[in-house]
Amino acid sequence: MLSVGLGTIIWTSIAFLAVVFLLGRLAWKPILNLIREREESIEAALQSAEKARLEITELKDQNEALLAEARQERDKILREARDLKEKMIGDAKKIADDEARRMIEKAQIEIDRQKSAAISELKQQVAGFSLEIATKLVGKRMEDNAEQRAIINDHLSALGNQESKSAS
């Protein structure tokens, strides 16, 4: 066991170096290369899966952002529509009010005009009546001058009062 034979050393050198050389060329080189190749492809697959996962997350985020934006847009449109509706109603009301007021004013003016026309007509008639009444009175009793004068004056002042009242 402890004796070292030269023959053993020579044979071992030949056998061992041949094994190292042959295995190196025929086994280890392809095996290690193919293991590395497979490891790299697995690595690449894992990385691309991770990338895809990130992309999906990103896409989802984008979708959510888009959805939120759309929701905001809808709310805005609805709010605008509501505002518009209220404004339109308000405008219409204002226009209607204005029209009504204008018509009332017009009516008022018409009424005033009719009234003053009526008054002036009435005045003429009253004067006519007064003249009739005066002629009747003059024809019937002429002796009492003072009394006649008083009556006419009364009528006239009453008319004058009425006229100044309606004019004011």
Partner 1 sequence: MAEKTRVSAVKYLSDFIVKGAFCAFLTYFSGFANLQANASSSLDSGQKAEPKSFNAGEMIMHHISDAHEIHFFTLNEGDAGAHHYSFYLPIIIKGKNGWDVFSSSHFYHHPKQITGSHDVYMEHNGYVLFHEQIYYAGPNGGLTMDSHGHPTNEKPLDMSITKSVAGLFIAGILVLLIFISVASSYKKRRGMAPRGLQSFLEPLILFIRDEVAVPSIGAKKADKFMPFLLSSFFFIWMANILGLIPFLGGFNVMGTLGVTLVLATVVFIITTLNGNRNYWVHILWPHGVPLPIKFILVPIEIIGIFIKPAVLMIRLTANITAGHIIILSFVSLIFIFGQQSAGAGYGVGVGSLLFMVFMNVIELLVAFLQAYVFTLLAAIYFGSAVEEAHHH
Q: Please report, as ranges, the residues that interact with partner 1 according to CB under 8 A.
A: 1-13, 15-20, 22-24, 26-32, 34-35, 37-38, 41
What single string gives the DSSP state of each residue in 82-105?
A: HHHHHHHHHHHHHHHHHHHHHHHH
Specify the residue, 8 or 62, whose C-beta has the smaller distance to partner 1: 8
Taking the complex as a whole, the smallest distance from the CB of residue 45 to partner 1 amounts, in Å, to 10
The Cα 58–Cα 60 span in angstroms is 5
Q: How many CB atoms lie within 10 A of CB 18?
A: 10
Taking the complex as a whole, the smallest distance from the CB of residue 3 to partner 1 amounts, in Å, to 7
Specify the residue, 26 or 158, whose C-beta has the smaller distance to partner 1: 26
Specify the residue, 7 or 139, whose C-beta has the smaller distance to partner 1: 7
Specify the residue, 48 or 116, whose C-beta has the smaller distance to partner 1: 48
Taking the complex as a whole, the smallest distance from the CB of residue 49 to partner 1 amounts, in Å, to 17
Specify the residue, 29 or 82, whose C-beta has the smaller distance to partner 1: 29
Indicate if the alpha-carbon torsion angle 46, 51, 52, 57 is positive or negative: positive
The Cα 139–Cα 111 span in angstroms is 40
Per DSSP, 24 falls in state I
Instruction: Find out whether 152 and 134 touch, Cβ atoms under 8 Å.
Output: yes
Taking the complex as a whole, the smallest distance from the CB of residue 12 to partner 1 amounts, in Å, to 4
Taking the complex as a whole, the smallest distance from the CB of residue 28 to partner 1 amounts, in Å, to 5
Beta strands in 5-105 (DSSP E): none
